[in-house]
Amino acid sequence: MDGADRGRHRDRDDTEEPAYCGHCGEPLVGRGGDPQDHAPCVRRLELEPPRYCPDCRRRMVVQVTPRGWTASCSRHGVTTG
Ligand SMILES: [Zn+2]
Ligand SMILES: [Zn+2]
């Protein structure tokens, strides 16, 4: 058995941690693992819909509705807010 050098396996649906900033589309964690400063983006996202899919960084199609907004990724479906 060679389990020692494998580390933990990664399943795609293991966790649902977002990888990208929904506002600017930059990775939330830089190379080297440093968290990037997206505090201004987070504040913007409280007021406006995300532009980028946090899972795949695709541009999302955003529609503002009377009750809020919907943002849809062609791969990951619709987010509402
Ligand atoms: Zn950002
Ligand atoms: Zn997506």
- pLDDT tens digits for 9-34? 544 455 667 899 999 999 998 778 77
Q: What is the pLDDT of residue 60?
A: 97
Instruction: Quote the pLDDT of residue 1.
Output: 56
Which tokens sit at 16?
A: 């649902």
Distance 30 CA to ligand 2 centre (A): 19
Tell me the C-alpha distance between 21 and 52, whole Å.
7
Cα separation, 5 vs 23, in Å, equals 37
Instruction: Please state, in angstroms and rounded to a whole number, the distance separating the CA atoms of residues 79 and 3.
Output: 39
Q: pLDDT value at position 2?
A: 54
Q: Nearest bound ligand to CA 73?
A: 2
Tell me the β-bridge partners of 62. 71
Kindly state the percentage of the chain with pLDDT values over 70: 80
Kindly give the distance from the C-alpha atom of residue 48 to the centroid of ligand 1, in angstroms, as a whole number: 13
Distance (Å, whole) CA 68 – CA 79 = 11
